[in-house]
Each structure stands twice: as structure tokens, then as C-alpha cells.
Amino acid sequence: MTDRGGVVAAATGAEALSTELPVGRSTGWWGMVLLVVTEATLFACLLGSYFYLRFQYGPQWPPGGNGNPKLLTPLVMTAVLVPSSLPVIWAEHGIRRGQRWRLRCGLAATLVLGVTFLVLLATEYAENLKRFTMTTDVYGSLFYLITGFHGLHVLVGLTMISWLFAASLRGDSFGAHRHERVRITAIYWHFVDAVWVAILFTIYLSPRL
Amino acid sequence: MSTTITPPPGPTREDLARLTEHWAERASLRAWFSTVDHKRIGRRYLVTAGLFFVLAGLSALVMRTQLARPEAGVVSPQEYNQLFSMHGTAMIFLFATPMLFGFGNFLVPLMIGSRDMAFPRLNAFGYWVFLFAGLFMWTSLPFGAAPNNGWFAYVPLSGEQHNPGLHMDVYALGLLFLGISTTSGAINFIVTALKLRAPGMSLNRVPLFVWAIVATAFMVIFALPALNADNAMLFLDRRFDTHFFDPSGGGNVLLWQHLFWIFGHPDVYIIVMPALGIVSAVLPAFTRRGVVGYPLIVLSIVAIAIISFGVWVHHMFATGLPQLSYSFFSAASTIITIPSGIQIFAWLATMLLGRLVIRVPLLFVIGFVVTFVLGGFTGAMFAITAFDQQVTDSYFVVAHFHYVLIGGAVFPMLAGIYYWLPKITGRMYHERLGRWAFWLVFAGMHVTFFPMHLYGLFGMPRRVYTYRSEPGWDGWNLVSTAGSYLLAVGLLLVLVGVVHAVRRGRPAPADPWDGDSLEWSTASPPEPYNFPVVPRVHSLHPTWDERTAESTGAGATADRILSEGRRTLFTSELDAHTERAVRMPEPTLKPLLLAGALLVFFTAMLLAWYPVAAVAMVVVVATIAVWLWPPRHPDEELGVAA
Amino acid sequence: MDTTAETTSSTAGRHWRPRPVLTALYGLLLLAGCAGDTPSALNPAGTGATRVAGLWWLLFWISMAVFVEVMVLLSWALVFRRGNVRVRHGQPLRFVTIAGAGLPFVILVAVYGVGLRDLAALGHGPGPDAPAVEVTGHKWWWEVRYAGASGATANEIHIPVGERVRVRLRTDDVLHSFWVPQLMPKTDLIAGETRETWLRAERAGSYRGQCAEYCGTQHAHMAFLVVAQPRADFDAWLARLNAPARQPRTDAERRGQQAFVQGTCAACHAVRGTDAQGRVGPDLSNMGSRWSIGAGAVPNDAGHLGGWIANSQTVKPGNAMPPQPVDAAQLPDLIAYLRSLE
Ligand code: HEA
Ligand code: HEA
Ligand code: CUA
Ligand SMILES: [Cu+2]
């Protein structure tokens, strides 16, 4: 006991303390993980509702001759969004070594990919809205609620990343010893990506099965 | 100052002075709004939830007055329907959970030997949101626009077509608003319990109350999203003509019920579990021994938390789902009684083996055992589908849930109030007054709710604003009403007792009960920094344990005094090994600002002022951005290579 | 409601014999359960409810036994308090496991088995050619039709005694629940779907039923009556339901009919054999012999009928029949006409 106390005392002395030591997980990390867990549950409820309503509805789905959802745009969207996690990972690894340029470039790349995703979503909406809206029938309601809610999450994620990006441009916030926020934001972004895969399966692929 | 603790040999006078300087808040208006001290926030939760309890309780008294005689005209049917809906909604959402969160807020850091919650500012934010959401919902009542469709708001009756006006918009938006508070509070509890435990408090030394709060918080995290999804869809259906619950547009009305009860059933355990935690926390002091079967109780808590997600259909036993699904949910509902049985018998064993010290808190615990067991039995009866189909939606169910809610949650809360009053206020309560209150509350409770079993079986449905005389329910209803007045008088005495203690009570010593958990090793009320020395915990009953006591006295080390700056300790999640000291945030007004902006947002959504809502949202985002903007640090501290 | 009284002598105890210990409490339940016209689940008269009443007494006695066990332990702790020693060791885990988990588990498995058997019995409806009643829930009254019969009635269901009758449940608006405590547990009426239950009365009599799912303002007044009668009486009743309504005989009745058919009433109400064919409100072809007005809101007599027609909103606030522009002079005629429809 005593010697551990000694080590800790040394490690928590005034100078040592002023640099955030990467000992253990931070409260912020846990907080974000739990937020993601509860958000994931929310998406699970929405996707669960989709399947419930679909199977209660009857054999023809989507109803009203809407036809199966088109696949091209969503697949492109997937190809844009899913890889957007890579630059974040790369940026995070970079800043852990104190390489700010990697942080800046990585975040910028993710921003570009994320915005592209939202633009593609908007074009998809523009096209779909001609055929059906949120008020057409329950399929329309589900489609716009689920994709819209996910789109909102992408937007929130992008806001967080651009905010990090701004801070990283300012310069004196992140370094090898202080990068908690990068790590935490990355968790959120990976989550937004992963949820999209579940949505792709539910909304776009499952009606074809 | 009512009590002073003599500075232990460990921390010096200067240490204490510095701690006070870093942690104390000046008594100013600004400090009142900007505080992030978990003790103040906890107290506010308790008082605010108590206020909502009185409002919901008075609604119940009006209802009981209306039901005292057949075909009475005290209130109109429309008024009655708003009253019972607000009564149920407020009791569940604005009283029970926040009250227990209040206990948790005040006690969890004290019990685990920390100086605050993991996220003090988030904590303050959670409180403001709770307050605003509660006011948001109650304000609708004087306008005659309160929710009027019961606390579970079944569609299609809650839809726009059958229920125009703001009633159910208040419900949906109010609960979404409140959900922000509950979720952030739950995350805060979990992280606090994971990272801020005093060194040495490994998982097998965590107090049962903290276990209960953590399990509850996990249930919130998994259950609340279902309610939020449900209410979001309801609001969209009502306002923006979507068809989630509209059969003519391909929707389904049972979806509402499934999602509601996927939340709703875990929610009743969200309410009872911390209350059971209070029982486990109170018993040791009054039986002079630790609670029997600590590992079994922890196991039960975890088991309840898990199984409770698999029983929701027992609230839908009359909707005509397939029998196979009923037999499954019936089995799960039957099994979930077993962990409760384990806890009851563990407490009985504790009482049998200990030496009982009969004080008011123990009286309420005994009242709890009697009442909760009866309520639990009717619950076990409902688990048998065939029987439930007969009594569901009758007063028999009303009897069940008041037995478990009042017996299982309110009695432990009252025990907790008397037990921790000395710690919270620094004053002792009046014992005789407390005993009178107990007997009146206990008698009032049973006189009110026991007859409901009977007239439920005799065919009286719930949620009726009146009834005719022929079916023969009058006499029993009169008894119930009389009982509810008795209960109100008892609760009034509790209130009088609290006020009396605060005004006139004898100053309380640090540890009036010779309790076993860490909060009793702090001053009454605790100093702003809680512990002059963060203790090193050596057993499950740290205050009864000499080595732990020594760690804050002669054995105190600088790494646990932490008097430089506003700091507390992080420890590892499982074994609670010291990791590092961390700086805690200063008081700030941002939580209040953020909650205020959200209030504007939800009010604007309610009144369909969408541009205002958009502006409020911008303020919300901006506040969060400023709140979390990373501070600057010199490069060498950051560790930058290029 | 008078027929219930004769059948309420003590049959409830038949399924489970009281033990000497708790006879007092039992007697209390029994007494209260049999008092007056109470539509008590403990005074069953139907096959379904009888089974559930038996189940209840089983659950009741088991709960009592476990409750007594808990109370004995609690009293023991209170009466024989231990000395002032701080016992921190000796965890009687075995006691807790056996009493708190083992014993309850055994009991619960047994009870669950019995419960499944009863659930299966409740699900065991009539054969395909049993008589069928179509019941539709409205805010806040019950529309009743018979398979193969053209006529309709409201808030009153006649069934042949001793036979299983199929009941098909639909709702016109929100959720309701069909509950006749003395005959059969509940089945909800689900918007957009059809549900089915069945009734079998073992004794002739009238049994009160009531909506048991909150359905808005007047959920309190959404009662109905199930009349179980011998087959012959039932057949006669059904035949009358198919025939045109009784023709007016007196002048007053004739004037009343005219006022009814030519006035606003016909827009919402039907009377068979007349031009009144409205379907918004209850069919009134047999209004004179119904047990109540407004789904149990008030008794069916001339005074209450007058009050209802003049302004039903004072009788049953919020119900779907707006106040009617009826002259004071027409009112007695309308009352006379409607009361003549038997
Ligand atoms: C604090 C809240 C709380 C608690 C703890 C419980 C506990 C239980 N509840 Fe209850 N319940 C509610 C709150 C609660 N309930 C509410 C609010 C409703 C109504 C909602 C509404 O419709 O408005 C409801 C409704 C409700 C229903 C639906 C009724 C209906 O609408 O038709 C059912 C059905 O199964 C049920 C079951 C149970 C069971 C099996 C338990 C078990 O957990 C009980 C376990 C405890 C014991 C059994 C006692 C101790 C055990 C022993 C001493 C061991 C020996 C025991 C045996 C051998 C049985 N509850
Ligand atoms: C924690 C939860 C909780 C609590 C504590 C209570 C407490 C009470 N409840 Fe509640 N009740 C519910 C949760 C709760 N209820 C729920 C969820 C429903 C279902 C709603 C629905 O159907 O949707 C319900 C429904 C319900 C009904 C059925 C309504 C209906 O179906 O038509 C009734 C009827 O009697 C009732 C009565 C009471 C009474 C008399 C109390 C009393 O215990 C209240 C006592 C409290 C006070 C009286 C206030 C405190 C008083 C003072 C501090 C003193 C000062 C005041 C004076 C004396 C002037 N409740
Ligand atoms: Cu129909 Cu209640
Ligand atoms: Cu439940």
C-alpha cells in the first residue's frame, strides 16, 4: 500500500498533475459510451417499430405500390459514410503522438465525407418526396422519421467535429497528453456510422428479402 | 455552525482552509443559480419532487372526494380525467423517480467517499430541466389543458382526432423534455459510481444503496428510449399527420402499448429499486449489523434489472395477443418475484439476527415490509394471465400499484427522510411527532387502498369519474375516501416534522445512528468538500471499521487530502485503485441557461411557434459549444511534436 | 337487475373451502361479494368466470399462507430482540436462499401450471356453429347485432342460458374493453382489428358488464347488461329483433312517431319498420324494454327519458348526442312513443 501511495503522490504532484496523464479511462469517455448506448437503444426502438409495423401490416410492403426503395443512392451514401470513420481514427492516433497536422487533416477529411453524405441524403429526399411524403402512409412516416433522425445525428456529429476542427486550428488545445475530446467525439462518429449500416439493412435492403 | 469536527491529525489547519476556499460558495443570488454542489442539487431535487408530490396528492384528494358518493358532482368528467392523468403522470415521473434521484444525488458521492458527482455541471443542468419540465406540465392544469388520457396515454384516444387541444401535446413534449434530465442523471450516477469511489472500495464493498442506484440508472438508459420514441411518434402523429398509430394509414395502435410498456414495466422497478436500496441502507443502523446476504442482494438487484425488460406484455394481457406469447410473459412475470423474495427474506434475517432499535426510520421499514409484500402478492397474482384478465383495469390493479408504490417506494423514502434528515439539515427530528406520522400514514394507507381490492373484485373499473349506486360499491368507496384524508393528515405531520426539525431541531451530531456507511463519517451537514481526507476503504462497513477510520486520521496522505485546487480522485472501475487526482468544475450559470433555452424550445413547440423554437435551438447549440470549448494550454503541457 | 338477486345466494365458496383460521376475512369477502346486485367476480355465473374465481381462491390462500409466514418472522424479530451485540458474521445465506427463493419457486411453478390450464380453458371457445353476437364499441355505448339477424339493439346482450355464445368485438373509434365480471374476463376492443371472446351463463339472470378500458369523457357510463334466458325465450326475443318495431297504438304514440321520424332524431337513430334509419346513435326499436338509458347512465323510466331527450348533456355530459330542439308539447309524445317500443 505505502509504496503505491508514494508513486501516486509523486504522480499527482503539482507539475505531474498539470499534464493529464493517460491513466485509466476518463469520466468523459464513460459518459460518451453511455450516451451512445442509450442512443443506440433509441434507434433499436425505431427499427423495431419499423419491423413491427411492417409485419402487422400484411404481405405487401411497402404499401400502396411505392415499390422497393431504390438502392443506388443509399449504397453511394454508405460508401461515403462508413469510410469516414477512418480519417477520425487516423487523426486520433496522430494527436496521441502530438502530431497536430494529422488531427487537422483527418478531421477535415471526415467533415468533407459527412457533408457529402448529407447532400446525398438531400437529393434522395428530393426524389422520394415526389413519390411519397411523411403523411402518405405509415411507410412514409417510418422512412422519413428514421432516415431523418439519423441525418440529424450526422449533423450533430459534424457539428462536434467542426468544433474540434476549429479548436485544432486555434492550436493550443490538443496534444499528446490532452486529446480526450478527440477520442470522445470519435466514439460518437463511429456510432453514427454503425447505425447507418443498420438503417441501410432495415429500410433499403430488408424489403427485398 | 451547529457542529464542528475537530481537525483529524491528517489534514492541517491550512489544508482545511484551502479546501474551504476552493469548494465553498459565497451566499449570493448568483451562487444560488450557479451552484454545482451535489448536496445542494440533491436537496433541491428532494424539495421540488416533494412539491410535485403534494400537488399530485392533492389531486388525488379531490378525486377521492368526488368518488366518496355515487354520482357526486364535485368535478366534471373532463376535470376528473385531467386530475387522474396528472396524478398518475406526476406521481410516476415528477415525484417518484426525481425524489429517489434526489437521495442519490445527495448520498452517492458521500457514500463512496467522493467530493462531488462525476459531472457536476451536468448535474445542475439535470435539476433545472427537471424543474422546468415539471412546471411545464403542471402549468397546463389551471388552463384546463392538462393531459387527460391516463399516465399511459393509449392511442387512438390520445390522437388528434379523438383528443384535440393541447392536452396530449403537453404530455408528449413534457415527457420528452423531462427525459433529458432523467437520462443525464442516470449517466452521471453510473460514471460517478464507476470512477469516483474512494480508493479501496472495490465492487464487493460498494454500499447496497449505490448498487441499487447504478442498476436503476442502467435501466433508465435502456428503458427510457422506448418512451421517447413512443412520444416522438405520438407528437408527429398529432401535429404533422404521420400514421404510426393510425390503422387507416397502415399504422398500428398496439405499437404504442408495446413501446410504452417496454419502458413502463422497467420503470416501476426504476422506482422501487432505489427505494429498496434505502431499506438496505437504513437497516444496519437499526439492527446493529450488516444486511444479511450482501452478495445475494446484489445478485437480486442485477437480476431484477435484467428480467424486468422481459415482462412488459403482462400489462397487455387483455388485448388478445396469442396465448403462446402470454404463457411466456406470464412465466417471466412469475419468475421476477423471486429476487424480491430474496431481498425480503434477507431483510427479515437481518432483523432476526440483529438487535432492533425501534426509531421512526425502522418503523417505516417495517411498514414497508408489510405493505410491499401484500402488493407484491397481488402482482404475482396478475402474472397468472387468466386471473389478470379478470381484474385488469379494475380497482384491484389500483390497489396493487398503490401498495407497491406507497408501500414499496414512499415508505422507504419516508424512512430515508427521517434517517438522513440529520445529515442533510444538521438537525434532529422530533421522535414522538414522527411516530404519530408513521401510524397515521400506515393506517391511512391501508384504509384507503385495502378496500380497493374488494371493489375491484366486485367489478368496479378504474378511471371512472363516478359510479351508480346499484352495483353496491358506495360503502367501500366512502371508506377509501376517509382513509385518504387520514393519510393526508399523516403526511402533513411528516411535513410538520421536517419543518420543525429545520427550525427548532436539536443540532445533530456527525453520526447520530452509529451508521455504517461513509456519509456518517462526515460532518452534519457535510462541509462543501464532503471529506477533508478522501478515505481509504477497507470493508463493506467503513464507518464501523477502524482501519478505514484511521486512513482519514493518522493515516491521511497528501494524495488523499488534495487541498490544492478543487480536486477529487479517480479510481479504477472494478478494484478502485487510485488512478489520478482530477480538477472539478467551478460553479457556472451555463446549465441554467441551457435548461432555460430548452424550456423555450419546448414551449414554442407546444404552441406551434416554430421560428421561436428554431431560435431556441440555436441558443442551445451555442451554449453547449461554449460550455465545452477546450481551454488553452501551453504546448509543453499538451505534449505537441509538430 | 332484479334477476341477479335470486342467484346471488352463496355459491362463491363452492370452489375452495374455507379453513378455520382466516374464516373472518374470508367471510368478509364473501359477504361483500354477495351483497345486493354487485357484479362481483367472486359470485360467478358463467363458465369462464367460475374458473377464474377458483383460481383466485387458490392464489388468495397461498398468498395468505406466505404472508402469515412473513408476519410471524417479523413479529419474532420485534418481540424477541437480540442482546446488544454487534453480529457481523454468520450470514444465514441458506435460510435466505430456501425461504426467499427455493420455496417461492416451488409454489410459483405449481401456480403457473394451474394458471396455464385455466388460460387454455378460457381460450377454448365455442364450436363454429355456435350463435354469434357482433358487438361494436362506440364512444360511449355498445352496438349489438346478431349473426344472421337484421335488427340491432344497444347496451343489452341476450344469450341463451347454458350455451357457449361467440362474441365478436370491434370498435368504431377508440379502445374499449368488454367485461362481464360474473361471466367472463376482459377482452379489449382494438381499433383496426377484430377480437373474439365467448360467454356461457350457467344460470339464467342478468349480469352487469362495463367498459374496462379508459375511452374518454364518459368511460364511466359505458355499461351494458347480459341477459341469459332459456333457449325458447331467447329465440322469441331474437325473432322480435328481426321483426319491425311495434306500431304506435295511441294518438300520443302516433304523434311521437311522427315527431321522431320527421324530426332530427331520425338522422342518428333507427327504428325498424319506419323511415328512421340513422346509424350514428343506438337503434331504438326496442327502447321501451331496455334496462337503462345512456349505457347505464340512468334507469329507463319516463322521467329520465324526458330528461334525456330534452338535454342528454345534463344526464351524461360530453356524450355524442347533442341537445335536441324538441318542443315542450312534443316531448310527452316522444316519450310515449319510445316507451311503447318493446
Ligand atoms: C413500485 C412499483 C411496482 C412494483 C415493485 C411492482 C411489482 C410487481 N408487479 Fe406491478 N404494477 C405497478 C407497479 C409495480 N409493480 C404499476 C404502477 C402497475 C399498473 C400500471 C397501470 O396500469 O397504471 C402495475 C401493474 C402490474 C401488472 C399488470 C396489471 C394489469 O394492468 O392488469 C402486473 C401483471 O403481471 C404486475 C405484476 C407485478 C409483479 C409480478 C411484481 C413483482 O415484482 C412483485 C414481487 C414481490 C413479491 C412477490 C413480494 C415479496 C416476495 C416474497 C415474500 C416471496 C414469496 C412470494 C411468493 C411465493 C409469490 N404489476
Ligand atoms: C408514486 C405513485 C403514487 C402515489 C404516492 C399515489 C398516491 C395516492 N393515490 Fe394514486 N395513482 C398513481 C400513483 C400514485 N398514487 C398512478 C400511477 C395512478 C394511475 C393513474 C392513471 O390511471 O393513469 C393512480 C391512480 C389513483 C386512483 C385511481 C383513479 C382512477 O382510476 O380513477 C386513485 C383513486 O383513489 C388514487 C388515489 C391516491 C391517493 C388517495 C393517494 C395518496 O397517497 C396521496 C396522499 C398525498 C397527499 C394528500 C399530498 C401530501 C399532503 C401533504 C404533505 C399534506 C398537506 C395537505 C393537506 C392535508 C391539505 N390514485
Ligand atoms: Cu369504452 Cu371505456
Ligand atoms: Cu409491469
pTM of the model: 0.94
CA distances from B312 to A38, A196, B226, B266, B328 (A): 19, 29, 12, 8, 11
- What mean pLDDT is predicted for residues B194-202? 94
Give the start-end residues of each E strand in B486-614: 567-571, 578-583
**Per-residue burial over B541-562, b = 16 or more CB atoms within 10 Å of its CB, e = otherwise:** bbbbbeebbbbbeebbbbbbbb
Distance CA A92, CA A176 (A): 10
Q: Which atom of ligand 1 is nearest to the CA of B409?
A: 1
Q: Is the pLDDT of residue A67 over 80?
A: no
Q: How many beta carbons lie within 10 A of that of residue B204, not counting itself?
A: 12
As beta bridge partners, residue C171 has C137
Provide the pLDDT for residue C30: 53
Please compute, for residue B185, the number of CA atoms within 13 A of its CA located in the half-sphere on the CB side.
Answer: 32
Q: Is the pLDDT of residue B638 over 80?
A: no
Q: Is C134 strand, coil or helix? A: strand
Q: How many beta carbons lie within 10 A of that of residue B29, not counting itself?
A: 7
Provide the pLDDT for residue B363: 96
Provide the pLDDT for residue B327: 95
Of all residues in chain A, what percent carry a pLDDT higher than 70? 89
Homologous superfamily, domain A26-208: Cytochrome c oxidase, subunit III, four-helix bundle (1.20.120.80)
The type of residue at B474 is D
Residues C109-145: pLDDT tens digits?
A: 999 999 999 999 998 888 888 889 999 999 999 999 9
- What mean pLDDT is predicted for residues B480-492? 97
Distance CA C76, CA B422 (A): 30
- What mean pLDDT is predicted for residues B405-431? 96
Distance CA C306, CA A20 (A): 85
Q: Quick one: CA dihedral C14, C16, C17, C19, positive or negative?
A: negative
**Packing angle of the helix pair B590-606, B120-139 (nearest 10 deg):** 30
Ligand nearest to the CA of B77: 2
- What mean pLDDT is predicted for residues A193-200? 96
Q: What does R_g of chain B's alpha carbons equal in angstroms?
A: 25
Q: CB within 8 A of B1, min separation 6: which ones?
A: none
Provide the pLDDT for residue C150: 84
Is residue A176 very low, low, confident or very high in pLDDT (cuts 50, 70, 90)?
A: confident
CA distances from B369 to A151, B246, B333, B376 (A): 50, 44, 21, 10
CA distances from B397 to A95, B189, B390, B463 (A): 59, 32, 11, 11
CA distances from B380 to B343, B372, C189, C262 (A): 16, 12, 26, 58
Q: How many beta carbons lie within 10 A of that of residue A1, not counting itself?
A: 11
Contact (CB<8Å) C91/B292: yes
Q: Is residue B404 a contact partner of residue B372, using CB atoms and an 8 Å limit?
A: yes
Of all residues in chain B, what percent carry a pLDDT higher than 70? 98
Q: Is the pLDDT of residue B326 over 90?
A: yes
**Chain B residues with beta carbon closer than 8 angstroms to that of C110:** none
As beta bridge partners, residue C157 has C226
Any CB–CB contact under 8 A between B295 and chain A?
Answer: no
Work out the angle at residue C269's Cα, subtended by the Cα atoms of residues C263 and C272, and round it to the nearest 5 degrees: 105
Distance CA B83, CA B146 (A): 8
Work out the angle at residue C211's Cα, subtended by the Cα atoms of residues C208 and C215, and round it to the nearest 5 degrees: 160
Q: Is residue B366 a contact partner of residue C120, using CB atoms and an 8 Å limit?
A: no
Ligand nearest to the CA of B414: 2
As beta bridge partners, residue C188 has C177
Q: Is the pLDDT of residue B256 over 90?
A: yes
φ, ψ of residue C225 in degrees (nearest 5) = -130, 135
DSSP B280-304: HHHHHHHHTSPPTTHHHHHHHHHHH
Is residue A23 very low, low, confident or very high in pLDDT (cuts 50, 70, 90)?
A: low
Q: What is the mean pLDDT of chain B?
A: 93
The type of residue at B555 is G
Smallest CA-to-CA distance from B314 within B335, B336, B334, B329 is with B329
Q: Is the pLDDT of residue A197 over 70?
A: yes
Mutate to test the interface with C, among B336, B347, B464 (most CBs of C within 10 A): B464
Q: Quick one: CA dihedral B440, B441, B444, B450, positive or negative?
A: negative
DSSP B469: S
Provide the pLDDT for residue A5: 38
Work out the angle at residue C25's Cα, subtended by the Cα atoms of residues C50 and C202, and round it to the nearest 5 degrees: 15
Provide the pLDDT for residue C53: 95
Q: What is the mean pLDDT of chain A?
A: 86
Is residue A13 very low, low, confident or very high in pLDDT (cuts 50, 70, 90)?
A: very low
Residues B20-29: pLDDT tens digits?
A: 988 988 888 8
Provide the pLDDT for residue C135: 96
**Per-residue burial over B248-278, b = 16 or more CB atoms within 10 Å of its CB, e = otherwise:** ebbbbbbbbbbbbbbbbbbbbbbbbbbbbbb
Contact (CB<8Å) C119/B353: no
Q: Which atom of ligand 2 is nearest to the CA of B464?
A: 32
Is residue A99 very low, low, confident or very high in pLDDT (cuts 50, 70, 90)?
A: confident
Q: Using H for helix, E for strand and C for coil, what is the string for chain A? A: CHHHHHHHHHHCCHHHHHCCCCCCCCHHHHHHHHHHHHHHHHHHHHHHHHHHHHHHHCCCCCCCCCCCCCCHHHHHHHHHHHHHHHHHHHHHHHHHCCCHHHHHHHHHHHHHHHHHHHHHHHHHHHHHHHHCCCCCCHHHHHHHHHHHHHHHHHHHHHHHHHHHHHHHHHCCCCCCCCCHHHHHHHHHHHHHHHHHHHHHHHHHHHHHC
- What mean pLDDT is predicted for residues B189-207? 95
Provide the pLDDT for residue A3: 36
Q: Is residue B227 a contact partner of residue B137, using CB atoms and an 8 Å limit?
A: no
Distance CA B126, CA C191 (A): 38
Is residue A154 very low, low, confident or very high in pLDDT (cuts 50, 70, 90)?
A: very high
CA distances from A83 to A87, A123, B321 (A): 8, 20, 44
Provide the pLDDT for residue B3: 47
Provide the pLDDT for residue C13: 36
Provide the pLDDT for residue B528: 92
Provide the pLDDT for residue B473: 93
φ, ψ of residue C316 in degrees (nearest 5) = -140, 80
**Does the C251-340 domain belong in CATH 2.60.40.420?**
yes
Of all residues in chain B, what percent carry a pLDDT higher than 90? 84
Is residue B135 very low, low, confident or very high in pLDDT (cuts 50, 70, 90)?
A: very high
Q: Write the residue in B250, B559, B577 that is nearest to A138 by C-beta.
A: B250
The type of residue at A55 is F
Nearest CA to ligand 2 atom 19: B88
Q: CB within 8 A of A172, min separation 6: which ones?
A: B632, B633, B634, B635, B638
Provide the pLDDT for residue B423: 95
How many whole angstroms from B446 Cα to the centroid of ligand 2?
Answer: 13
Residues A71-91: pLDDT tens digits?
A: 899 999 999 999 999 999 999
Is residue A22 very low, low, confident or very high in pLDDT (cuts 50, 70, 90)?
A: low
Q: In what order do the strands lie in the sheet with C132-138?
A: C152-154, C141-146, C132-138, C165-171, C195-199
| Matching residue, cell 413501446 | B259
Residues B338-378: pLDDT tens digits?
A: 999 999 999 999 998 888 899 999 999 999 999 999 999 99
Is residue B7 very low, low, confident or very high in pLDDT (cuts 50, 70, 90)?
A: very low
**Chain A residues with beta carbon closer than 8 angstroms to that of B224:** 38
Residues B460-483: pLDDT tens digits?
A: 999 999 999 989 899 999 999 999
- Strand C298-299 and strand C292-293: pairing? antiparallel
- The answer, yes or no, to whether any atom of ligand 1 lies below 6 A from the CB of B337, is yes
Chain B window 571-630: which residues touch A at a Cβ cutoff of 8 Å? 572-573, 577-582, 621, 625, 628-630
Phi-psi region of C138 (alpha: psi -120 to 50; beta: other; left: phi over 0): beta
Q: Is the pLDDT of residue B265 over 60?
A: yes
Any CB–CB contact under 8 A between A148 and chain B?
Answer: no
Provide the pLDDT for residue C204: 93
Is residue B557 very low, low, confident or very high in pLDDT (cuts 50, 70, 90)?
A: confident
Nearest Cα residue in chain B from A5: B559
Is residue B68 very low, low, confident or very high in pLDDT (cuts 50, 70, 90)?
A: very high
Q: Write the residue in B230, B580, B630 that is nearest to A173 by C-beta.
A: B630
DSSP C156-224: EEEEETTS-EEEEEEESSS-EEEEETTTEEEEEE-TTS-EEEEE-BSS-EEEEEE--S--STTGGG-EE
Q: Is the pLDDT of residue A17 over 50?
A: no
Q: CB within 8 A of B360, min separation 6: which ones?
A: B415, B418, B429, B431, B434, B435, B437, B438
Provide the pLDDT for residue C82: 63
How many whole angstroms from B461 Cα to the centroid of ligand 3?
Answer: 10
* Residue of A63 and B61 predicted with greater confidence: B61
Q: Which residues of chain C have pLDDT under 50?
A: 1-22, 33-36, 87-88
Nearest Cα residue in chain A from B579: A23
- Strand C156-160 and strand C223-229: pairing? parallel
